[in-house]
Structure 1
């Protein structure tokens, strides 16, 4: 009996302790919420008439929150705000996380010459930041696209640079002048529930581009633009891209690599469970001729559904290289194309066109089923400069002879 009484007493004490712990946690959360300071850009002079340049109000609200002593939320409220160049620069003194809550629509100044850094909204040197809110960043790029070119890059709508532990979600990007977003020199970033749209004829309007980015997850988003939906550039490692709906555009790309002499190797990149519709390319790796010595290794494209895609599986080491006879020095290895199915408008949906200088090695084709539509009555595959091609499962088209 005494033992039973002791057990009941211990159980009661445990329940009381649990209640106290939960109460402390709730109180702590309430204190955190109460301590949070809100910095509404309209309190810093933003007009929200869609015509007045409200960039400085955004910058001032951010600066006040960044330098505060309590957790900060910078708010762009419902409405339409026109802004030119916006630079949100840390490091911040406010206790993390810093929240940037974009609820309204931000219109870019449509004059591309007004952006001295070829960036519209820049977040730089800011760690532990959450950027969300369901709002829209409209780059108003239609009038700028005619000026875009290989040597004349248009402003990037959103750049996340030299920062860490970023959480970017639930935003809409529309009609960027140049790239819609870039993640540069940053690590530990999650990007999710994004909607990025521009006409398929808009030039160089990549959805999300990575450069020297590490530990990045991009998930559950819709991207349809005039260029790559997602492009993984120099120095990027440990990247997961999952559950992306892509189209129109140029597909999912590693590269281009090797254009500049100071580029770095890339590796450990996975594209998984994505659907591509009406894109120029599906799963693509692209490198330039006359490149620095680099490696692109451990790259996986798996569980992709393709609808009327022109080049479903493509390694192109002769990208944009007609004027440079010297072959690429980017060594591509340990690449896996697995469980890729759907339809293609190409007669050669699997093309592995590697460098003669440094042939691709350890390339896998597994369970690929691509049915021709339109003018493509039958399909085949081509392989050039590949060592150690591995094949398994159902393969349509049949595997190439390397």
Structure 2
């Protein structure tokens, strides 16, 4: 058992390798984490975090205190890291997010296994914030929140070969909750599978947000297995439907998405009336009902959409 651990640079030598081996368990007292993280890798270039070990965050002891306000400790944070790697680790039951990459660039994340119950609050698998040139590959993630959440300031992000479930799917956002957020661009989510998740391929923004842009976003070759809300743009996330988002979403592609859904609304494009979505493409979509659902619908509001190939269920004409 260890409490808060900080590896802080700058460091003159490199590459630096941090090996986490065996089973490492967290201090169950949340007040022990003054930086909001259990393991913090900070201000370091050319660092590798590996070792095949397990980080057990003992989250079950604190989830009952989660009020949706103050975040619980993240199991492992890379902050102001450049040319970093994280691979071959196991994360279990983080108090808050399992891992976070923030204010960093050129980071590769590979072969992680992340596990927490579907009921655990705010236990995102991997969260990105103000992160550029990040690759997340070949990982298995099941949590109580987003498997991967791609937040403000994310630029040139690849998510590939991720199996997600349980959880809330793979999301761009949420965006616009705070002032001074940065634009998002160049996000590719490809060759992934969602299983029994509450959302699939999702973009989410709050209402009454600062002016922001989210552009160049692709979800491609995604398999849905008993997924609710498999394709969704939600610009009224946790917000009133009567107030609009100032996040401008454009150049979005949903391509080669297939599988089954447990909700009738298979495709939901709910965009802002004041900042409508532009250049939204749906191509070769094949979603079928499951879990007692008998018919599927596709809905669209304030989205300029093009459809190519076969799309099931079909999009309404007002979106074309």
- Tell me how far apart the structure 2 counterparts of residues 260 and 171 of structure 1 sit (CA, whole Å): 32
2:258 paired residue number = 341
* Matched residues, number: 318
| C-alpha RMSD of matched pairs (Å) | 0.9
CA distance in 1 between counterparts of 2:242 and 2:66 reads 26
Q: Which has the greater radius of gyration? A: 1
2:144 to 219, 226, 240: 226
Q: CA deviation at 1:277?
A: 0.2
| Aligned partner (choices 110, 115, 127) of residue 28 of structure 2 | 110
Q: How does 1:358-397 map to 2 (within 5 A)?
A: 358-387=275-304, 389-397=305-313
Match of residue 221, structure 2, among 291, 303, 322: 303
Partners in 2 of 1:216 and 1:118 — Cα distance?
A: 22
Structure of higher RCO (CA pairs closer than 8 Å, 6+ residues apart): 2
User: Which of 90, 94, 107 matches 2:9?
Assistant: 90
Question: Are 1:158 and 2:76 an aligned pair?
Answer: yes
Offset from partner CA, 1:75-129 (integer Å, 9 cap, x none): xxxxxxx1111111001122x1101111221100011122112211100001001
Rounded to whole Å, the distance in 1 between the matches of 2:168 and 2:294 is 23
The residue number in structure 2 matching 1:33 is none
**CA shift for structure 1 position 151:** 1.2
Equivalent position SS for 2:118: coil
Alignment of 1:224-263 (within 5 A): 224-263=142-181
Cα distance, 1:278 vs. partner?
0.1
Name the SS of the counterpart of 2:286 in structure 1: strand
Aligned residue runs from structure 1 range 2-401, under 5 A: 82-94=1-13, 96-322=14-240, 325-387=242-304, 389-400=305-316, 401=318
What is the match of residue 29 of structure 1? Answer: none
The structure with the greater share of residues assigned to strand is 2
Deviation at 1:325, TM superposition (A): 4.6
C-alpha distance in structure 1 between counterparts of 2:42 and 2:216, whole Å: 30
Q: Which runs of 5+ in 1 are unaligned?
A: 1-81
Measure the CA separation in 1 of the matches of 2:41 and 2:250. Answer: 34
TM-score, length of structure 2 as denominator length: 0.98
- Mapped to 2, the partners of 1:310 and 1:113 lie a distance apart of 36
Deviation of 1:344 after TM superposition, in Å, equals: 0.3
When you count helix as a share of all residues, which structure comes out higher?
Answer: 1
Q: Secondary structure, in 3 states, of the residue corresponding to 1:315?
A: strand
* SS in structure 2 of the partner of residue 113 of structure 1: helix
Structure 1 stretches (4+) deviating beyond 4 angstroms? none
SS of alignment partner, residue 146 of structure 1: helix
